[in-house]
Amino acid sequence: MKKLATLAILGSTILLSGPISAATPQPAQSEKHAEAYVEYREAIFELLKSNMAPLGGMAKGAIPYDTQTMQTNGMRMEQLADMLSDYLKVDTRKFDVDTEAKDTLWDNYSDVESKIGDLKAAAANLQSVATSGDEAAYRKAIGQLGGTCKSCHDDYKAD
């Protein structure tokens, strides 16, 4: 999310030119700090994966559609997306830590934030669609959610 910055000086408001990011990456303060944040990121991604897996099975027809699972997993993924920004904003590049994050993640952080927003929106949409009873809509909503994951992986996850 981008906002225009304002600055109040002696009762006057000055509009600063250019947008600012709601969150900007901050460098890890030590190797221990970097390692901890890599661990936290990986934990969130594992939880996202564990919630996406049954949804993918439903979309492929490998398991039956289950409205409650779609709603619950969509809610969980939306909540996990809220946490992603906090753990991705710690730039771990200057330390030799084992991570699958590409360096470009922190160079393009506004794009990362946008992709997190897309994930949240797709997860919220899945929750809404789950109650519709329309199996074609289920498949599309699950596909959109999976597409948001893939988009970020394609750009910011090392192979």
33 is annotated as contributing to ligand binding: no
Q: Pick from 18, 4, 20: which is nearest to 109 by CA?
A: 20
Instruction: Calculate what percentage of the chain has a pLDDT beyond 90.
Output: 81
Q: Is 152 annotated as a binding residue?
A: yes
* pLDDT value of position 1: 39
Give, as one character, the DSSP assignment of residue 96. -
Residue ranges of domains in the chain, CATH in brackets: 23-156 (1.20.120.10)
Strand, coil or helix: what is 101? Answer: strand
Q: What pLDDT is stored for residue 135 in this prediction?
A: 85
What angle, 0 to 180 degrees and rounded to 10, lies between the N-to-C axes of helices 31-59 and 135-156? 150
Which portions of the chain are predicted below pLDDT 50? 1-21
- Please report the pLDDT score of residue 22 as a whole number: 54
pLDDT in tens, 76-100: 999 999 999 999 999 999 999 999 9
Q: How far apart are CA 57 and CA 108, in angstroms?
A: 32
Coil/strand/helix, residue 91: strand
153 annotated as belonging to a binding site for a ligand: yes
